[in-house]
Chains A and B, each alone.
Chain A
Amino acid sequence: MRRAVNIVPGSGTRILLALLPFLLIACLYVVASAERRAANPGDKLLPPITEMATSMDRLATEPDRRSGDLTLWSDTAASLQRLFIGLGAAAAIGLVLGLTLGLLPLASAGLSPLVAVVSMIPPMAILPVLFIVFGLGELSKVVLIVIGIAPFLVRDLAMTVTAIPSEQIVKAQTLGASTWQLMLRVALPQAMPRLIEALRLSLGPAFLFLISAEAIAAESGLGYRIFLVRRYLAMDVILPYVAWITLIAYLLDWLLARLARRAFPWAYVQETRR
């Protein structure tokens, strides 16, 4: 008997099925937008797609009246710079602390409870303190991202390293490995693919903290623009910006996934067999 669980779509059907929900949402949007425009020709809440395209074209190709920059690209560059520095710093902290805590019982005993407690502090709640300590400039925005995701990376990597079978650790020592060699040759290679996976999972929160920081004080950036034009309900700018942020996050996620599989194929052996 043919059961629903056994119906597997072919590649063409798969693409069609994947596109369908997007098309449906687009159609609903167009209808609602037209309906609101019919009621109020000046409506700003659900602008037609043509209007969003015009606005984006203007922001991407015409220099800003005041600064002379191409708004979309300067916003994107400012935000990506903050995001990459923040992610990079958080990854470095996560890797170093994660390996140390996971491998050295002495370090773990001393630091793990602190990390566990710090990871529970909601970063947004201590924002005013961050401002006073780190100022309102670039540093505080990067620090917010780092504080937001580094504790998660540290804990995740520490758990990964702790979960390395003790047989491996014992065997490496039998072969004469020092603690330093254990860390670099046994723990690090196994932690790396996990770090990339954890970074992928952190992309969402990292963007959240980036946008929040830019909403609070900034001169440029994707979040800055959204919160600035929000003052006059310019949804023709906000909606495309949201789509753009989503696209960037999706691409970063995809790139990290590719990187992990290219650099550490052995960690994904199970996956290819499926």
Chain B
Amino acid sequence: MIEMFKEWFDARHEYAKEWKEKTGGKVLGYFCTYVPEEILYAADVLPVRILGSHEPQDVTEPYIFGMFCPFCRDCLAQGLKGRYDYLDGIMISQSCLHIRQAYTSWEMHIPVPYSYYLPMPNNVQSPRALPYLVGEMEKFKKSVEEWTGKTITDDDLNRGIEIMNRNRELMMQVYETRKGEKPPLTGLEAMYMVVSGQMMHKDDHSSTLEGTLKELDGRNADRNVGQRLMIIGSEDDDTEFINMVEGCGATLVVDDHCTGSRYFWNTVEPNGSPLEAIAQRYIDRPRCPSKDWGERSRLPHIMKLAKDYNAAGAILVQQKFCDPHELDIPAIKNELESNDIPTLFLELDVTVPIGQFKTRVEAFLEMLMEEDLF
């Protein structure tokens, strides 16, 4: 069953097209995981995350200046190449400037009937953020209603919450199994699971997750776990890279990625008003660096993950030029290392120099093994 996730990951476009044909519903491409998918599910819209394809390309050159992150360019390239030609709408929820350019260029050059910019607050630590976000979500809900011609009731919103929460809870259970001495799944498999979930209907994904959870007991029992690593940083769906790391004698037991745990970590807690409950969830979720101020809430969260999952070391990865993550890396590195968790820093580009990175990962693992000896 677990192979299904990889199949979905690889055949993301086919899946969405089939879903559309089958249901006659609308598909919306989104650029950032701060998008309140609950509202889209409430309107029976399928949200799919727009991600890159890790191929070299030159189609974005006229639209995005080369000092912006390769991931945002890779995303735009998908649109320019017509790979998402089935989308009925696109949207972004305010996050970093880089991905915002991919969104605005898409809006300008790739015709799509619906487009929405949700100004998600950055000061999520302020008490003013919640009422503000509720207000913005009300406007967004109204806009989706106009677009789809459907009224979204509180019942619909509660259904949207349930769909999202069920999936989050199942993913939490999956991640829970990775805490054990013999994690039943690899980091690569976990990545396929999370990312495929960002591209398909959550009900389909959740049903398969339920089946998979039953399969996990005792799975991979004879696999050599090697060094237990965690991986932290910017957007990362680079499966080839993850595969290489795990091929060097390690298992990625947990992550802090928006293509990983950050996506599903907290659920919507019912509180009477569904929109308020949804807004609260996005305010409380494990934060992206550009929203993590005045306090550094990421540090205790990351340290807790490292401890709960018993990580021996951490790989800090970031997309080249990714300012938000670059801004947090020294603090994270310092925190981990002062808690005796060695780190390895790597910078991702659209394509990753696997050979070069392999040498560095091997050296890092060797260092960790030496530490084991003493």
A binds B: no
Interface on B for A, CB 8 Å cutoff? none
